[in-house]
Structure formats: structure tokens, C-alpha cells
Structure 1
Amino acid sequence: MQRGNFSNRAEHNNRPYVDNIILIGLMGAGKTTIGKLLANSMGKIFIDSDHEIQRRTGVDIPLIFEFEGEAGFRKREVEVLQDVARLSNIVLATGGGAVLREENRELLRKSGTVIYLRVPVNELKRRTRFDKNRPLLQTANPQARLVELFNQRDPLYQQTAHIILDSGRQSVRVLVQTLIKKLEAYHLSRPIMPSND
């Protein structure tokens, strides 16, 4: 498996960086769309963990689920998150299930400011209703499955997040502006830690 090979503008380091922004939330929450615009607005590098898994394997995520199951996909996801955690100056869009493992939740919180993009279930249903690229929704009743996933994961997202952004049908630009204000307020409210240098 190919590892690394991220943009050379993102720096590799052995310690976590607080300048990273990590987006979590269910499928359809807008992590990739918002993440790209946020990274562009803040002069950061955008990385999508699902896209990185696809790049490394050379296949789409539904195919990974088909041949390796969800457990195989989650194993690959852990490897990508561990690699990305060593970078700085990034905006990372995680897969919806990245928070299922405690090791991932801890890693994400240590690697940057974690933002939960919380979207009402009815809006998630609207956004994902025609999407055939969501393996976990390929069931007889995808809407019921989405409610089940929300109920299972919402507490984990809340536990992991430093900031929660409630969103629905606002424009992406408005959401990004709101998010930047929330990030500024969050970092201004944190105590300054003494340097160990």
C-alpha cells in the first residue's frame, strides 16, 4: 500500500498541531464542500480522508466495502488518519464513521480543532437520497438506516468536537464565514500554554 505523498505544502512533524482543522459529521453533512472552501479561505491544505483511501487503493469506497467489509475499510481509515495527524496547516474532512473507534477520537482531538457539522436528519435524508456511493445506505430502507446512524454517532461526534456548528440549508459561504468566527472565538477563549522550547 502506498503511504504518504501528501501535498508538499503540508508539513510532516512528530507532534500534533493546533492549527489543523478537522471536520466530522455524518455522510451528507458537507464536510468536503465546506472543508475545501474553508481551507481556501484560511490558506490551508485540504485533505479528504475518504479520497485519500481511494487514492491509495486505486478503487472506490463501495468496492472496498464489497471485498473487505466495513472492518477492512475502517482499518485503512485508521492508517490514513495516523498519517494525516503528522501534518500541519490542513483542513481534514473525515469519513462519517471515523469517530467509531476511540483511538481515532483521541487522535483527532490531539491533532487539531475538531468541528462537528451537525445537520438535521431530514436534511441529511434530502442530501443523500439519490447517492449510490454510500455503502452504508445501500439497504431496503436507507432513511431508517440514516436515522440509526445519526442516533449511534451523534453522541460520539459531540464527545469528540471542540466546536459544534449547526447547519441546514444555509449557503456554504455563510457556513464557512460562521465557522471562521467560531474558530476565532474558540481560540481566543483558550488559555495560552507556555512553550516547551
Structure 2
Amino acid sequence: MTTALPASATRRSPSPRLRLVGDLLPGPTATDAAVTVPGDRVGYLMYLPAHVDPLALLAAHGVHPEIHPLAPRRAAPPAPEPEPAAVPEPVYADGGIRVDQVTRRIEVDGQELDLTYLEFGLLAHLVAHPHTVHTREALISDIWGYGHIGDGRTVDVHVARVRRKLGAAHRDRIITVRRVGYKYVPQGA
């Protein structure tokens, strides 16, 4: 809302000052001369054409604005240093399967397996949580991520590939829990 200066305001002082008025400000109104504190300011929002100089327009109407340069912006506080990511420790399984999370290598009986990214994630997750039954949906969420669109058959296919790569001596460590999902059972358990 814009409001014009009252005629009495321009006649009260030789150099009238601006006063900020609005609905949110408490205290006396701009027109209440008995309670007006000398030096109060009234601010106005003016929309002017691009070619009009606001200072010249104010001076032409007898208003002498006080111009104060803005304080320089303070630099934003430095962003906190990101905490170093926790380095996953290698997970060792008994009976010839060794999972190294740091180097992303899985060895079976001393031989490194050639696994895809998702196959490694699936086997490492199962080995890291032995005897825990993982539903297909939980495996999709944990290994593939929330954005993956697929069904439980995707997990079944990957488990079959991992079992084949583990070989006959170790493929039975990944147990199918019918109508639920899969679990890893270490040798000798």
C-alpha cells in the first residue's frame, strides 16, 4: 500500500524526513502530530518509469532523502567440513569365502570371483548378515536402491548367477526361504 506524505509533514520541518508506515508497526500513526517523535521516518514504495531519477523527483517536491550505503555483506560462514566417510571394514566369512568391502573383491578358496556390481553387492550383503532372512523387496531396496523398478524375479536371477559363480562347493550357502526370500548360512553352521 502506498500513501502520500501528509501536507502537514512537509511543512513541519525545513527538511522533511521519511517515515516507514504500515499495518505491522506498533505505536503512533503518522498523522498523530501530538505523539510523533521528531526524527521518525516514513518509507514509501514508489514505482517510477525507468527514465525518471528518484532523487531528482524527491528534491523537486522538497524531500531530502538520507542516503546510507548498505553495509557490506558479511561472508557466509564456511561450510562445515564433511565428515570422512566411514571406511567399511572387510567382512570375512569362514569356509573359504572372503569378502573385502574396501577393495570390492570376493575370493572363494583363494580365487577371486568375477562379479558384476550388483552381484557383488548382493553376495556381500548376504555374507555380512548371516542367518538373516532377507525378503526380495528388502534386497531390491538395499542393493538396487529405492528407485529401481523391478520385481522379485530380478533378485531370483541374480541369486542364481551368484550361486553358479560360487561353484558346487559353496552354492548351497545361499538358502532359498520359500515365498519369503534368501539367507546366507556360513559353512559348519
The alignment's TM-score, normalised by the length of structure 1, stands at: 0.25
Structure ranking higher on relative contact order (CA contacts 8 Å, 6+ apart) = 1
Q: Which has the larger radius of gyration?
A: 2
* Greater helix fraction, Structure 1 or Structure 2: 1
